[in-house]
Structure 1
């Protein structure tokens, strides 16, 4: 977002907005130690974390989740994510890191602070730092120089301790080679696949077996809970009313994103990673690697396969697909290349801060501009529907207040002129016909106990209020009611057991040195052979992921696994056919990204280990009451 705003900055207002974002980001890095204000959610070694500080971080984190989910987040999801616990953990860990930085004696000198301020482009005029502009912007943001620089000093200190800890991480060439060969050595296997379905017809369980199975698994056959309700419905029917031209225009302008869609393009890429600060020799070699891949792509080799084999980006698993994007959503050099291409065209080498890209334009989605006249019918329906919902809610709210005042659903309905309806006993999966259009009300009913009144329930067709007259909990049915289900489940289980036994017998004979093809022929099974695959390309095989992972562990000394592999009621008997190591040229191309990945993992582990040590040594108290009140 920051880079996007910088690119689009064309006015003092937008430029000031960029600065404010930067300031907020820096100042939201907690200035551990608090400011002595009342309201403390926790103390870490007698250092408080204020409620205000917690609330700011919580709001920021919640906003990030909202951006991800493109709107409101259900309260149930917030609860499941444990958002408050997440935020508190982050603040505690950052406090500990900063305390350890100060205890270690890591300094942030005045020169470093000055250099950090002066390096911010937002405080420069004509290429030079402007003290007056610096003070003006801070004043406009209601920040003193002292407050801003205190926050910045804290941020610099946090970075220093992280860099200090990461500096202890080391990766040897032996570790790089081991990880490289783990990911890129290839195998080809022969295997038998025995499916439970192939053994189904041989199963004919006795009555005694069915009864025993039912007794052992009664929990699987409990009846569904049932309820009996009284309920009121407030359908949000479209209302009949005239709309002014101003209403239509206002709605159209407020929702221009729906009616004006800019051109979007879908592209795929192959990325050879390279850091700007890498030695020139390394950069040259990486560029040459990109040039080699580019030549293969232009010679007609499948772009998806090239991406899978060569791209050092997460998109490689999808053939390098970047999906659709519009201008302003990609790195600028990549965007410029894509929007200058025609579908099917392959770019030259495009250099960004990530490295060297080879891009193919897949598709262009033309811009859409729907005029007010073209959208008028849809807008009219939307406005009337919205007003209909509002009227339905107002009516439901009046009736609900009446119910609470009179203590009677029936009297509230009578006063509000709404028809009170009742059901017989029903399960959640088979509601009465009138409630099928209101599944949200049905779901809410099964969350209530007998004698409980719901709140106003929002449904897709309006609103509802329900009262649970009776509730019946799950019960164990007589076997006669579910005997067909029990028999089918038992046959399914017996079929899987028979398939597993057959596979285990074959595996035992295979481990004794017998030939897989002869064993398969004798039993009437078909031996299958995989293509060559590695850890990096296992997803492209027909084998389930778990089976492919086991296959990659087989060696010439141990060509057969210790046990049968299973996935989705299929059982696999495996034997290594061939194994070949990845060649040295491939290692030279992958060595640096593999080393970077290993180093990053070690750095993260180093930081995590240090934090865990600090947590064990720290004295931390949490004010649960203060947290609940926020």
Structure 2
């Protein structure tokens, strides 16, 4: 059987109640207790890392990302995050940290452990530690006090070790001010763009198509496919009974979940003002807004005036914005709207967008849903958590049999599950009759033929999957691939044309040193960005760190960036417009807060450097196939 740690990370409740410990679980691999049992897949100075530890660490990290990203987390993101390497690194780091803690004689006393345990709100009733509550919470997760306290002691030792190492990290006031200036310096640039989409007169001929196909044969193949057998461990296969006491506990321990924030329903009339507008332009826009406000006060209809004068997309609906919470709107607007009564019309309010005249339609005060109102929802939540945990435990038991050498037929008999068989399917999952079919397919394509996977969570269910057939892709003939070849070749030719024109005009800037002159001479459109920061984005350009970097590279002495910038929306020539460096009087954060932020960054860097150096002193061995 898998160790109790494996059994207990499948449930989401403990991850919510014991948030601090969860982070340690992930970092420490959620499995050092009894880690010398089982099959070793790596060693750190002869200290083994077992397959069970690795599998549980992998799942714990995935669970943490799922909690962070929710349904947005997909297999592509998981691959990019390199979870396998993260899991192995976490376990290697664990072994090294515990070894170093031993060398430094870092221990946790019984009193320190007791103080930590009684501070957990999950174990308290009426603000005081309660032994029955403590045992009940752990029991629901199949944890014993001994096993939980063992893990807590490990996490506290690791925390002490970090504190010792990080105590030498200091940040000066000068460093904090320089960091503030670096982060908050803004620049604006002028630019000429070359959008490949504008070159609509490009049409490849047959000779170009044949040549492109010959040069890119590997790009035009049929989709590879796989065929698999699998066991499905679903929450629906398990029945649980949720007590009223459990529902009450959940309600008491998750008060924020049942709070309904204050909301208002409002409309507005917006007179836009550019952020870089002169003082006179701001006053002129304010005067226009005041004139409209006066007309409303004198009896003209708000909605009619909004349709006629508002410069926001909501004008078509008479300025109607709908219902919203306070944090959903910019602060000056929200502060005004939430201070009003239903039916009120505000005087013009200035925000980064311009001047707003606000009409408050209705207001709903903050409230808390009662236990009776949410009891059934909580019951469903707890039922899903417990049945999902039961399904995971069942899948874990089945995988134990795999580790012991049983084949899929034997595993199916042991677990009482039927073996399901798919037809051939591509990585898109097309043809699979199941929810989350693309995720299932992507996981299947990662597996090697004839090997049974470890436990895979897909949606709310868990799977053991065995690939029994892999069908390689084959090269498509010209007729089969022609439409796609024409599409790709046309895009490539347009990209090349845009880049070549950008290059030619960049050469011309060496003579004029002026993008404005180039634009005027050749009838090109010269645009100017608003001021942007190093971590900002530019709406018309898209996500382009290269464009941002170029913007901060140009200055009064180097007016034009010497290279073409490639961005998602095309190719660009970039020139200097202005730069705004904040002074100390503009600091919106305290020196103390800035120093804390910098210290955390420096501590993280120092810790990683320390771990990297330590690894050179330890003999670390593992099978590289583990990461494939």
Give the TM-score taking structure 1 as reference length.
0.52
Q: Which residue of structure 1 aligns with residue 261 of structure 2?
A: 265
- Corresponding residue of 2:531: 532
The equivalences for 1:128-277 within 5 A come to: 143=145, 154-201=154-201, 203=202, 205-223=204-222, 262=258, 264-265=260-261
Structure 1, residues 484-531: CA drift from partner, whole Å, max 9, x if none? 554443333222222212112222222333432232122221111122
Tell me how far apart the structure 2 counterparts of residues 93 and 125 of structure 1 sit (CA, whole Å): 33
Deviation (angstroms), 1:622: 5.1
C-alpha distance in structure 1 between counterparts of 2:224 and 2:556, whole Å: 57
Alignment of 1:280-291 (within 5 A): none
Residue 540 of structure 2 aligns with which residue? Answer: 542
Cα pair distance change 1:610/1:572, threshold 3 Å:
same
Following superposition, the deviation at residue 563 of structure 1 comes to 0.7
Structural mapping, 1:303-314, within 5 Å: none
Question: Does the 8 Å contact 1:34/1:49 carry over to 2?
Answer: no
Contact 2:181 2:583 survives alignment (8 Å): no
CA distance in 2, matches of 1:75, 1:193: 35
SS at match of 2:213: helix
Q: 1:582 offset after TM fit, Å? A: 1.2
Q: What corresponds to 1:595 in structure 2?
A: 595
Provide the rounded CA distance (Å) in 2 between the counterparts of 1:125 and 1:490: 66
Instruction: Report if aligned partners of 2:263, 2:326 keep a CA contact under 8 Å in 1.
Output: yes
Q: Secondary structure at the match of 1:617?
A: coil
Secondary structure (helix, strand or coil) at the match of 1:539 reads coil
**Cα distance change of structure 1 residues 142 and 34 upon mapping to structure 2, 3 Å threshold:** closer
Q: Relative to 1, partners in 2 of residues 1:136 and 1:154: Cα closer, same or farther, differing over 3 Å?
A: same
Give distance in 1, aligned partners of 2:524 and 2:165.
Answer: 57
C-alpha RMSD of matched pairs (Å): 6.6
User: Following TM superposition, by how much is the alpha carbon of 1:560 offset from its aligned partner in structure 2, in angstroms?
Assistant: 1.2
Q: Which runs of 5+ in 1 are unaligned?
A: 1-16, 230-246, 269-299, 301-318, 325-340, 347-360, 380-403, 405-422, 453-457, 460-466
Q: Is the 8 A contact 1:106 1:157 kept in 2?
A: no
Instruction: Judge conservation of contact 1:32–1:95 (CA < 8 Å) in 2.
Output: no
Name stretches of at least 5 consecutive residues in structure 2 with no aligned partner: 1-13, 228-238, 251-256, 265-288, 290-323, 330-334, 341-361, 381-408, 410-422, 451-457, 460-466
What's the CA shift for 1:86? 4.0
Deviations 1:139-174 (A, max 9, x none): 998656xx8877665444322211121123233445
Change (3 A) 1:550 1:321: farther
Give 1:575 deviation, angstroms. 0.8
* Kept after mapping to 2: 8 A contact 1:180/1:590: no
- Give the SS at the match of 2:199: helix
Are the counterparts in 1 of residues 169 and 603 from structure 2 also a CA contact under 8 Å? yes
Go from structure 1 to structure 2 and tell me whether the alpha carbon gap of 1:186 and 1:83 turns closer, same or farther (over 3 Å shift).
Answer: closer
Distance 2:440 2:30 in 1: 44
Give the SS at the match of 1:543.
coil
| Equivalent residues of 2:541, 2:569 under 8 A apart | no
Distance 2:125 2:482 in 1: 85
Q: Is the 8 A contact 2:169 2:602 kept in 1?
A: yes
**Which residue is 1:240 aligned to?**
none
Contact preservation (8 Å) 2:36, 2:48: no
Please tell me whether Structure 1 or Structure 2 has the larger radius of gyration of its CA atoms. Answer: 1
User: Deviation digits for residues 566-609 of structure 1, max 9, x if unmatched?
Assistant: 22351111110122211221247364444333221211111111
Counterpart for residue 45 of structure 1: 45
- The change in CA–CA distance for 1:511 and 1:581 in structure 2 (over 3 A counts) is farther
What is residue 554 of structure 2 aligned with on the other side? Answer: 554
**338, 358, 366: which one pairs with 1:344?**
338
Kept in 1, the 8 Å contact 2:506–2:564? The answer is yes
Alpha-carbon distance in 2 for matches of 1:127, 1:445: 49
- C-alpha contact 1:196 1:570 (8 A) present in aligned 2: yes
Instruction: Return the match for 1:117 from 114, 117, 122.
Output: 114
Q: Does 1:575 align with 2:575?
A: yes
Residue 607 of structure 1: aligned partner: 607
- The CA distance in 1 between the partners of 2:133 and 2:440, in whole Å, is 56
Kept in 2: contact 1:43–1:620 (CA 8 A): yes
Q: Name the counterpart of 1:509.
A: 508
For residue 576 of structure 2, give the secondary structure of its aligned residue in structure 1: strand
Report what 2:316 is aligned to. none
Distance 1:559 1:76 in 2: 41
The question of whether the paired residues in 1 share the 8 Å contact of 2:429 and 2:438 is answered with no
Distance 1:208 1:130 in 2: 80
The 1:611/1:165 distance shift into structure 2, 3 A limit, reads same
CA shift digits 1:229-251 (9 cap, x unpaired): 9xxxxxxxxxxxxxxxxx9x99x
CA deviation map 1:208-240 (0-9, x unaligned)? 33332222122333355699x9xxxxxxxxxxx
CA contact (8 A) 1:194 1:499 kept: yes
In 2, the alpha carbon distance for the partners of 1:565 and 1:66 equals 35
Once the two structures are superposed, residues 277-334 of structure 1 have per-residue CA deviations (whole angstroms, 9 ceiling, x without a partner) of xxxxxxxxxxxxxxxxxxxxxxx9xxxxxxxxxxxxxxxxxx998679xxxxxxxxxx
- For 2:185 and 2:585, locate their aligned partners in 1 and report how far apart those are by CA, in whole Å: 13
Cα separation, 2, equivalents of 1:118 and 1:429? 52
Written as runs of structure 1 = structure 2, the 5 A alignment for 1:78-117 is: 86-103=86-103, 105-108=104-107, 113-115=110-112, 117=114
What SS does structure 2 have at the residue aligned with 1:189?
strand
1:34 and 1:586, CA in 2 relative to 1: closer, same or farther beyond 3 A?
same
Question: Given the superposition, is the C-alpha separation of residues 558 and 175 from structure 1 closer, same or farther in structure 2, using an over 3 Å criterion?
Answer: farther
C-alpha distance in 1 between matches for 2:186 and 2:138:
63
Matches within 5 A, 1:334-483: 344-345=338-339, 473-478=473-478, 482-483=481-482
**Cα distance between partner residues in 1 of 2:439 and 2:148:** 51
Judging changes above 3 Å, is the alpha-carbon distance between structure 1 residues 115 and 127 closer, same or farther for their aligned structure 2 residues? farther
Retained in 1: the 8 A contact 2:222–2:476? Answer: yes
Kept in 1, the 8 Å contact 2:190–2:527? The answer is: yes
Deviation at 1:21, TM superposition (A): 5.7
Supply the distance in 2 between the matched residues of 1:444 and 1:153 (Cα, whole angstroms). Answer: 38
Indicate the SS of the match to 1:574: strand
- CA-to-aligned-CA distance 1:106-151 (integer Å, 9 cap, x gap): 54475xx52553465469999999999999999998656xx88776
Aligned equivalents of 2:468, 2:47: Cα separation in 1 = 50
Query: Offset at 1:441?
Result: 8.8
d(CA) in 1 for partners of 2:137 and 2:440?
Answer: 51
1: CA distance between counterparts of 2:520 and 2:190?
14
Following the alignment from structure 2 to structure 1, what is the Cα–Cα distance between the partners of residues 35 and 503? Answer: 69
The superposition leaves residues 236-269 of structure 1 with CA deviations (integer Å, 9 ceiling, x where unpaired) of: xxxxxxxxxxx9x99xxx9999xxx95633889x
